[in-house]
Amino acid sequence: MRQVKISVGGVLRGLQKTWAYPNGKSLGLFLTPYFDCFVDGTDDAGKTAREKFSVLRFGVHCTDGKTATVVGLSDQQTHAIKAWIPTYRVHSADSQENGAWQVYQNFLIHDGPDDALEIFATIGCIEIMGPKGFIRFNDLIIAMSGPKARGRDEQLLEIGRAGRMIISYAKAERPPFQKAR
């Protein structure tokens, strides 16, 4: 299986509205930065490929319904993806783009908002933005990895077990706690 490299940038590209997960909906909306994410690899013909996605990287966390904090990974770090989790469902919004990649512990890569009007909450997972963004992301991962399995679900599981997908986070300043207007 071929290696795939995911690089999450550290330079803010824009702001997205979000709410404080899991118990902070009553606190209103907050602004969360989004960043560039590049996926690099080679296809079956040996041609190098690179595609850019926009992703949420930080979020707002609230457990008591009263106080919220900014959370997410800000240090430079690299991890091998641990697994594909086919049963994962986005908890903070409606999404038909199911499943998630486990980076480590509860830090995942999964579907995010399709546009500026769709409000997701996040607590530090990489959330792939754009219409059918997570589907496009996974299609690209499959094309670059070259799994042997035939079905999509089996291919994603095979890729997750192989340990050949690497994610690197660039250092990023933790964003300020910012209410949306």
Query: Tens digit of pLDDT for each residue in 152-171?
Result: 999 999 999 999 999 999 99
For all residues of the chain together, what is the average pLDDT?
Answer: 96
**Hunting for tokens 């992703």 — which residue is that?**
55
Q: CA-to-CA distance for 6 and 144, rounded, in angstroms?
A: 12
SS3 172: coil
For the chain, which residues make up each domain, given as ranges?
A: 4-169
Please, are residues 142 and 157 in contact by the beta-carbon 8 Å criterion?
no
For residue 12, what pLDDT is reported? 96
Q: How far is CA 51 from CA 36, 54, 75, 120, 125, in A?
A: 10, 10, 23, 23, 20
CA torsion angle 166 130 27 105 (round to 10): -20
pLDDT of residue 94: 83
Question: Each residue of 55-94: pLDDT tens digit?
Answer: 999 999 999 999 999 999 999 999 999 999 999 999 899 8
